[in-house]
Amino acid sequence: VMLSILLLQPIFSPCSAALAPTPRSTPTLAKPAALPKVPIKYPGDTDKTIVRRAEWIEEAQKEGTLIWWTTLRQPEIHSIIAEFNKVYPSIKVEYWRGEGEAIASKVEAEFNSGRHTVDILQGGEPGNYPRWRKIGIMEKFTDIIPAIEKLDKRMYAKNNDWVAVASIISSPTYNTKLISAAEAPKSWEDLLNPKWKGKLGVTTDMKVWTNLALGEGKSWGITKTEEFLIKLKKEQNLIFAASHPSGHAMVMSGEVAILADNYVRFVLLDKEKDAPVEWVRVSPLSISGPSITLQKKAPHPNAARLFLEWLLSPQGLVLYEEKTRSGAAFPGTGTKTSKLVEGMPLVVRTEETLLKIQELGLDEKFAGILGVTSGQ
């Protein structure tokens, strides 16, 4: 038996050796690909957004141009373009300036003729957006906004195809030579005080009142707003201004002691010059403002996305406010305007509230209560 075992051992030994596990070599880990260099980075950037930006830059350099239609004044346009070109010097920005309705008419005329020459619109009138969306004028783009998760959702469209780049804050304002801070109104309701009779100005623009009625936020509702306007008309000998600039001029000259619905921006600009004017921190504050859109058939889509990403970034919003003196009031934007109204309730004129206002004919209804023709 022992001899048999010894004879079999050489036979089985090689098999045992074959079955023994062989040592594994350590796999070589591939080095991560270096991220492309980009001329600017934003809060919340990821590898994905940096790679995407680099791809846009490559394609935008081939496009070479960006077309922007806007309601801004020429000095403001030029200064914004200059700032953008500090980051992207190879992209030539061309622009056309017009009023909101003129921009809307022009883009529709182009669309209907089959021409597509513009990339970005600013001031195309939100009342047109549902129809534009339906016929294919507007492109979704809000996903490219840096740190969008930190922004108030009322700043951009639920359909993700427009953004309010700045805010128009409306509030009562007064002449500090005629009214002291102690006796000045502290709320909307204080405007009903009989002591202001013959001293109170109101514009024929119903935007503030329709916003108080239906704006997104803690609005009053239609009934309360109607009751307020009825009392305002009854208690005060109102002095009407055809526009906000003319109404502000009336406050500055002392023709009226208070303008019920002034633009806070005007007040802030004149206070820098030590003018005798102040605004009332009422609750809620009315917010409206111009919005910006990307065209679905933009001829320079990559340049357009680079511009929108830059303009709507924290850096861009601060620069926009610096150059136009009009900033976004919403939390998370980092603007002086947002810090000015921090913690204050806002009622915002969004696309949805505007459509409801138009559907109910509130501009005409409220203007009728005050006895004027709406300046809207």
- Decide if pLDDT at 28 tops 80: no
- What does the pLDDT read at residue 11? 37
- Decide if pLDDT at 333 tops 50: yes
For residues 115 and 117, what is the distance between their CA atoms, to the nearest angstrom?
A: 6
pTM, two decimal places: 0.86
- What does the pLDDT read at residue 29? 52
Mean pLDDT confidence for 294-322: 97
Q: Are 287 and 340 in contact (CB under 8 A)?
A: no
Closest to 242 measured CA to CA, from 204, 202, 197, 287: 204
Residue type, 23: P
- What does the pLDDT read at residue 311? 97
Cis omega (within 30 of 0) on the bond before 284?
A: yes
Q: Are 51 and 36 in contact (CB under 8 A)?
A: yes
- Rounded to the nearest angstrom, the gap between the alpha carbon of residue 177 and the centroid of all alpha carbons in its chain is 35
- What does the pLDDT read at residue 301? 98
| Chain segment 216-250, per-residue pLDDT in tens | 999 999 999 999 999 999 999 999 999 999 999 99
More confident residue, 32 or 50: 50
Confidence of residue 376 (pLDDT cuts 50, 70, 90): low
Mean pLDDT confidence for 306-328: 96
Phi-psi group of 364: left, alpha or beta (phi > 0 → left; psi -120 to 50 → alpha; rest → beta): alpha
- Decide if pLDDT at 22 tops 90: no
Neighbours of 21 (CB within 10 A): 5
- Decide if pLDDT at 51 tops 80: yes
Three-point CA angle 125, 317, 291, nearest 5°:
5
Return the C-alpha torsion angle 304, 307, 313, 314, nearest 10: -160
- What does the pLDDT read at residue 219? 96
- What does the pLDDT read at residue 338? 96
Q: Are 155 and 164 in contact (CB under 8 A)?
A: yes
| Chain segment 100-129, per-residue pLDDT in tens | 889 999 999 999 999 999 999 998 788 899
Confidence of residue 4 (pLDDT cuts 50, 70, 90): very low
- What does the pLDDT read at residue 127? 87
- Decide if pLDDT at 280 tops 90: yes
| Chain segment 135-185, per-residue pLDDT in tens | 999 999 999 999 999 999 999 999 999 999 999 999 999 999 999 999 999
Closest to 189 measured CA to CA, from 133, 231, 152: 231
Query: How does the average pLDDT of the chain come out, rounded?
Result: 91
For residues 266 and 326, what is the distance between their CA atoms, to the nearest angstrom?
A: 10
- Decide if pLDDT at 21 tops 80: no
Mean pLDDT confidence for 74-91: 97
* Percent of the residues in the chain that have a pLDDT greater than 70, as a whole number: 91
